């Protein structure tokens, strides 16, 4: 299977390692990572910068990460649901389930975590599709992720990349026709999923935080704040200690709806992509101002998909901004495209034909 074979970009790795190795590493401290004033500390109370990678494409599938063409005319075809429907036309449901189990382990294997720790990274952000959290196979795979991360001294941020219904219409949210914001039943399922995860992992110090909604696109700021309040309430009913991570609206870029903190143990998270205009300095300064006003640090949950020179400049900018509590590079493994891959999945001709058909059957 293609996901077993990757090639490292040493130049890109060196850009990220120089910053990552300045952060805390080693054994997971007893207690949990938490906010202390305007910074983040580990379970022993030592300041920590969470610097690491996303496990994109493992538990929330995106066709472009696997080699499918990223066409603006066919963005919906990039979603996991589309890939699964296409697979089901080729093989049985049982074979699709077996394929999923293989992907879960090949994209986030013990060898991956050994390499992640070897680079000096101390955290992985794990993008999750709500659908996998509603299956025994999916939860078992997530348990293995935590076990592997813990064995290698790497923290985990659980990220609900796709909430029931979809928190945006973009393929990364694997949306459904009835979106999260318009569907009370989907909202309740989202709240219950977070309650389940918090109850399942409340004693696990390897979990650095709960990233409640990836890149939300709410109808208005009040709706986003209300959804966050309801999720936090469910988490705190069973887990009073793990940190919650709140992303801004409009794909984690807009924090204007927050008048204050929603929880004593929370941080905010922004995403930084600058394909159309290199305004990284201005945006990071704005996010730092928000952090100062609200009294909680910011974390860059996603950045990358750019040239090594831009990534180097962005990492330096994060490290020079005291209110930025670290970063998570997008992404650990992907197939080759116009931008360098930290670990490039080597694509065979047969797999390329398969993913092209899956994306555009």
The rounded mean pLDDT for the chain is 94
Least confident of 52-56, 274-278, 327-331: 274-278
| pLDDT, position 26 | 64
> Residues 54-96: pLDDT tens digits?
999 999 999 999 999 887 767 888 999 999 999 999 999 999 9
The pair of structure tokens assigned to 228 is 């966050």
CB within 8 Å of 359: residues ≥ 6 apart: 63, 68, 69, 74, 77, 78, 82, 83, 86
> Residues 112-145: pLDDT tens digits?
999 999 999 999 999 999 999 999 999 999 999 9
HSE toward the beta carbon, residue 279, CA cutoff 13 A: 8
CATH number of the domain at 8, please.
3.20.20.80
Percentage of the chain modeled with pLDDT above 90: 89
pLDDT of residue 235 exceeding 90: yes
For 253-258, what is the mean pLDDT?
98
| pLDDT, position 23 | 65
The pair of structure tokens assigned to 40 is 């983040």
For 335-356, what is the mean pLDDT?
93
CB within 8 Å of 312: residues ≥ 6 apart: 15
Buried b / exposed e across 8-42, counting CB within 10 Å, b at 16+?
ebeebbebbbebbeebbbeebbeebbbbeebebbb
Report d(CA 264, CA 7) in Å as an integer: 42
Report d(CA 179, CA 176) in Å as an integer: 6
pLDDT of residue 27 exceeding 80: no
| pLDDT, position 350 | 92
SS (H, E, C) the chain: CHHHCEEECHHHHHHHHHHHCCCCCCCCCCCCCEEECCEEECCCCCECCEEEEECCCCCCCCHHHHCCCCCHHHHHHHCHHHHHHHHHHHCCHHHHHHHHHHHHHHCCCHHHHHHHHHCCCCEEEEEEECCHHHCHHHHHHHHHHHHHHHHCCCEEEEEEEECCCCCCCCHHHCCCCCCHHHCHHHHHHHHHHHHHHHHHHCCCCCEEEEECCCCCCCCCHHHHHHHHHHHHHHHHCCCCCCEEEEECHHHHCECCCCCCCCCCCEEEEEEECCCCCCCHHHHHHHHHHHHHHHCCCEEEEEEECCCHHHHHHHHHHHHCCCCEEEEEEECCEEECCCCCCCEEECCCHHHHHHHHHHHCC
Q: Is the peptide bond before 52 cis (omega within 30 degrees of 0)?
A: no
Tell me which residue range forms the domain holding 115: 2-359
- The distance from CA 347 to its chain's CA centroid, rounded to whole angstroms, is 24
Report d(CA 318, CA 358) in Å as an integer: 38
pLDDT of residue 24 exceeding 60: no
| pLDDT, position 28 | 83
Between CA 329 and CA 335, with CA 331 as vertex, the angle to 5 degrees is 150
Number of domains in the chain: 1
For 10-17, what is the mean pLDDT?
93
The 8 Å CB, 24+ separation contacts for 72-77 are: 74/359, 74/360, 75/170, 75/171, 76/171, 77/171, 77/359, 77/360
Report d(CA 50, CA 5) in Å as an integer: 27
Percentage of the chain modeled with pLDDT above 70: 97
Q: Bridge partners of 270?
A: 300
| pLDDT, position 2 | 43
Report d(CA 352, CA 315) in Å as an integer: 33
Least confident of 5-9, 171-175, 217-221, 247-251: 5-9
Q: What is the pTM of this model?
A: 0.96
Answer left, alpha or beta for residue 31, where phi above 0 means left and psi between -120 and 50 means alpha. Answer: left
pLDDT of residue 36 exceeding 70: yes
How would residue 1 be classed by pLDDT, with cut points 50, 70 and 90? very low
pLDDT of residue 208 exceeding 60: yes
| pLDDT, position 91 | 92
């Amino acid at each position: 299977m293609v996901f077993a074979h990757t090639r490292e970009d040493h130049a890109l790795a060196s850009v990220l390692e120089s910053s990552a190795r300045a952060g805390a590493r080693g054994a997971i401290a007893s207690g949990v990572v938490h906010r202390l004033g305007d910074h983040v500390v580990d379970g022993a109370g030592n300041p920590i910068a969470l610097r690491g990678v996303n496990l994109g494409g493992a538990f929330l599938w995106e066709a472009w990460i696997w080699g499918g063409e990223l066409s603006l005319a066919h963005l919906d075809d990039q979603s996991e649901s589309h890939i699964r429907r296409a697979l089901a036309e080729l093989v049985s449901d049982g074979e699709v389930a077996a394929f999923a189990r293989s992907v879960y382990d090949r994209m986030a294997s013990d060898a991956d975590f050994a390499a992640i720790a070897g680079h000096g990274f101390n955290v992985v952000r794990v993008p999750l599709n709500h659908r996998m959290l509603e299956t025994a196979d999916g939860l078992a795979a997530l348990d293995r992720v935590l076990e592997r991360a813990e064995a290698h001294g790497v923290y985990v941020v659980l990220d609900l990349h796709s909430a029931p219904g979809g928190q945006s219409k973009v393929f990364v949210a694997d949306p459904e026709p009835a979106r999260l914001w318009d569907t009370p039943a989907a909202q309740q399922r989202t709240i219950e999923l977070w309650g389940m995860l918090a109850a399942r992992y409340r004693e696990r110090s390897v979990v650095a935080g709960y990233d409640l909604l990836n890149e939300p696109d709410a109808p208005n700021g009040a709706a986003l704040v209300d959804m966050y309040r309801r999720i936090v309430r469910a988490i705190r009913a069973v887990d009073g200690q793990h940190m919650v991570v709140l992303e801004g609206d409009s794909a984690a870029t807009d924090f204007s709806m927050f008048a204050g903190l929603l929880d004593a143990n929370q941080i905010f998270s922004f995403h930084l992509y600058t394909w159309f205009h290199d305004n990284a300095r201005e945006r990071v300064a704005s996010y730092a101002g928000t952090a100062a006003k609200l009294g909680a640090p910011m974390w860059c949950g996603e950045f990358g998909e750019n040239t090594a020179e831009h990534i180097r400049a962005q990492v330096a900018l994060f490290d020079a901004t005291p209110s930025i509590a670290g970063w998570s590079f997008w992404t650990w493994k992907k197939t080759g495209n116009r931008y360098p891959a930290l670990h490039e999945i080597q694509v065979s001709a047969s797999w390329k034909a398969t993913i092209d058909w899956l994306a555009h059957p």
